[in-house]
Amino acid sequence: MIETDGAAIATFARPPDSEFLNNAMLLSGREDLEAVFDTVERVYRERDIRRYAVWVHESESAASALQARSNSHDSSTRTMAMPIADLVGPDIANLDVIELSPPEFWRVGGPANLLPELPADRAHFHVCRSDGKSAATLLAFDHEGDCGIYMVETMPEVRRRGLATALSAHAVVEARKRGCTTASLQATPMAEGVYAKVGFRNLGRFDEYVPGG
């Protein structure tokens, strides 16, 4: 992680991490955008990283500057967060959830060996089961009192049963037990309603731009 005056730049030079985790977030209120984007491009160029995304909050007027530098809009996600005390949502008393080790989790919910160095006391790998089979996955990561929710996925054959909503609520409950006071995540447009049912609030959209169209 490289923190500059105008951006926070995550660099993952080796696969599989490099496939989608190379992201630079534009910090708010910066006026000298050209200098910031020069720095972002230089950091990735020096590491021979050609595929990355620049995240810009919807409140910032940086889209035209990025597009002028041959970047194109790739996708959008919505920042959502909540005080854990405000938890609402479904009854999770009978939810069948287990916590797996990282290797076990990746066999169920993601590429093998992804993020192998996550601290064991801060990373929690939840799997919800239906009829004894893995049905939904979620990675929770604690940082300074906040529980970040990542990599929520429901298996296609059991979607639209509320499992992602219930698993998210479970993760927030477990985070409260660990002493976290807030929870946060980035939601795709399709998942915003899922998290709203748990109590997550809208903090604005991030638009993601990638180089070279």
pLDDT in tens for each of the 213 residues of the chain? 999 989 999 998 877 667 788 999 999 888 889 999 999 999 999 999 999 999 999 998 898 999 999 999 999 999 999 999 999 877 888 899 988 877 777 777 666 556 557 788 899 999 999 888 888 999 999 999 999 999 898 988 888 888 999 999 999 999 999 999 999 999 999 899 999 999 999 999 999 999 985
Q: In b/e form, how buried is each residue of 28-47, taking b as 16+ CB within 10 angstroms?
A: eeeeebeebbebbbebbeee
> Going from the N-terminus, what domains does the chain have, and what CATH number goes with each?
2-69 (no CATH), 82-202 (3.40.630.30)
Q: Quick check: bond before 103 cis, omega within 30? A: no
Q: Which residues contact 159 (CB under 8 A, 6 or more apart)?
A: none
Query: Rounded to two decimals, what is the model's pTM?
Result: 0.85
Residue with tokens 């990746």: 106
Residue 20 to residue 111: CA distance in whole angstroms: 12
